[in-house]
Structure 1
């Protein structure tokens, strides 16, 4: 079964927010921070740490 990555991330994110109930500001800060880091000079550093 092939599941697209975007669909799996949406499902995991929805279930995480539904079950863990983090504050909305924390979700927004993490999404915005990830977006900004992905387009910065820190992207290669984060990529090497994750891999």
Structure 2
């Protein structure tokens, strides 16, 4: 069975929010920070660290 990456991320994110119950402001800050970091000059360093 092939599951699209976006669907897997939504499922893991929803499960994490349901079980861990982080504050919504923290979820928004992490998503927005990741979005900004992906388009910055630090993106290659984060990419090599993630692999």
**TM-score of the two chains, using structure 2 as the length reference:** 0.97
After TM superposition, the runs of 4+ consecutive aligned structure 1 residues lying more than 3 A away are: none
Equivalent residues, number: 51
CA RMSD of aligned residues (A): 0.4
Question: Which structure 2 residue ranges, 5 or more long, are not aligned?
Answer: none
Question: Which structure 1 residue ranges, 5 or more long, are not aligned?
Answer: none
- For the residue of structure 1 that corresponds to 2:29, the secondary structure is helix
Shift of 1:16: 0.3
Alignment-derived partner of residue 16 in structure 2: 16
**TM-score of the two chains, using structure 1 as the length reference:** 0.97
